[in-house]
Every structure is written in structure tokens, then in C-alpha cells.
Amino acid sequence: LLYSRGLLIDLLIKSNVSRYAEFKNITRILAFREGRVEQVPCSRADVFNSKQLTMVEKRMLMKFLTFCMEYEKHPDEYKAYEEITFSEYLKTQKLTPNLRYFVLHSIAMTSETACNTIDGLKATKNFLRCLGRYGNTPFLFPLYGQGELPQCFC
């Protein structure tokens, strides 16, 4: 999977190599949680149309994601938590376990133990920055597989 605003996609577009390959966007992101497969709300529309989140959770998630998009402008809100894991930081933000799971595993795509707060915020911001370029999710994939990419450059 490639981020839609990632360096490789930008290189493919700038070099016109993208003309030789077909890409498809991922239509939705799913998470396996408590024995069920659930759709992860990614965009603003997904969040507010989601039936698995309460109204309070929707508001909390939107507030947190909005903060993540401009976290560099508000260092006082995360500087004290730089040394702890992103998972612990999410707990300090009073997110519900449901929201913490979605943010940690499906949006930031980080580990519960190995990722610090800054890396988690960067990963979340990158995910959000890539949303909406080619669809409702931030990911693209080469239609005929990763082997197409070296062939296109040739």
C-alpha cells in the first residue's frame, strides 16, 4: 500500500511514470476487534455516519484528529508526554478504548509499546494529510501488483 501523498506517488507523478501503471484506491479500512470486523471511520463523513461510535465518541474523535493535523502549533499540549508511548498519551487525552484502538492500530498504525508520542502524532498527521486525494482512504495500490513499479521506471 502506498500513501496517496507519499514520496513515491509524488515521484511517479512528477516523472510521468504514473502513465504506465494503473492504481486503485483502497475503498475502506477494516479492523478486527473483539471477534468482529469493523470499518474504521477515516474521513469526516465516515465519522459522522458511523453506527459503531456514540455521538460523544464522534465529537472526541473529531476533536483529537483536528488537533493531530496541527499539533506542532500547540506544543504545550504534548510536550509533557513526549517520553511516554503513544498508547499512554491517548489514555491521557481521555479517548475511549474504542477510539484508542482505532487511532492506534488503524489510523496511526503503530505499536502499543514501541511508538512514542511524537512518532504517533506524526503518523496520525500523515494518515490524515493523505485522506481525500484519490478517495475516502489515504492508500493506493498498483492494480497489477508491486512488480509493475520497476517496470514502469524501465
pLDDT in tens for each of the 154 residues of the chain? 899 999 999 999 999 988 888 999 998 888 888 898 988 887 778 888 888 888 999 899 999 999 999 999 988 888 888 889 999 999 999 899 989 998 998 899 998 888 999 999 999 999 999 988 888 889 999 998 888 888 888 8
> How many angstroms separate the CA atoms of 120 and 93, rounded?
13
Domains, in order of start, for the chain: 1-27+139-153 (no CATH), 38-136 (1.10.405.10)
CA distance 152 to 154: 5
Alpha helices in the chain (DSSP H): 7-14, 44-49, 55-69, 86-92, 97-101, 117-130, 148-153
DSSP, collapsed to helix, strand or coil, labels residue 83 as coil
Q: Crossing angle for the helix pair 55-69 and 117-130, nearest 10 degrees?
A: 100
pLDDT of residue 18: 85
- The CA-based angle 69-130-116, given to 5 degrees, is 55
Grid coordinates in use for 100? 484508542
Instruction: Round to whole Å and give the CA distance between 134 and 126.
Output: 15
pTM: 0.86
